[in-house]
Amino acid sequence: MTEHSQTENIPIIFYDGNCGFCHQSVQFILKRDRSKIFHFAPLQGKTAEACLPRHLREDTDSLILLNEEGHFIESTGALKILCSLGNIYALAGVFLWVPSSIRDFFYKWIARNRYRWFPRVSCLVPSTDETNRFLL
């Protein structure tokens, strides 16, 4: 069984494994994902290589949500993740009505500045309870 076939039916959030802001975002999601639906994989890892086209892995400044509907990048991916968390975060879905060009302008501004605002990190060490939600 290939890496991709093992991950076909689970929502995966791909993130920049070297980005402090991305690591904080993963921690934010882990704490609020009570149903434990999301799995996580760095864009630099084997799962990303098996599941995503090269242009998404190499030429992106975005997290990527891969689920049964397809892949979602930039603000659309972030908003779909928030909606999936439920509770008050589901209200973020209202912003999906805003044209993506406007939403993505702000997303890209944050993405361009993330290394300046947040220190680079070498690795995220999940707790023992979270280990099974991380893919290589």
Domain chopping of the chain, boundaries = 3-133
What's the pTM value of the predicted model, to 2 decimals? 0.86
* Rama region for 86: left / alpha / beta (φ>0; ψ in -120 to 50; rest): left
Q: φ, ψ for residue 53 (rounded to 5)?
A: -65, 150
Cβ proximity of 63 and 82 under 8 Å = no
pLDDT on residue 132: 83
pLDDT on residue 100: 96
Q: φ, ψ for residue 36 (rounded to 5)?
A: 55, 50
SS3 of residue 18 by DSSP: coil
pLDDT on residue 2: 45
> What distance in Å separates the CA atoms of residue 109 and residue 101, rounded to the nearest whole number?
12
pLDDT on residue 123: 60
pLDDT on residue 136: 76
> What distance in Å separates the CA atoms of residue 109 and residue 115, rounded to the nearest whole number?
12
Low-confidence ranges of the chain (pLDDT < 70): 1-8, 121-128
pLDDT on residue 126: 67
Closest CA to 31 of 132, 136, 127: 127
82-114 CB burial, b ≥16 within 10 A, e <16: bbbbeeebeebeebeeeeeeebbeebeeebeeb
DSSP string computed for 83-109: HHH-GGGGGGGGGGGS-HHHHHHHHHH
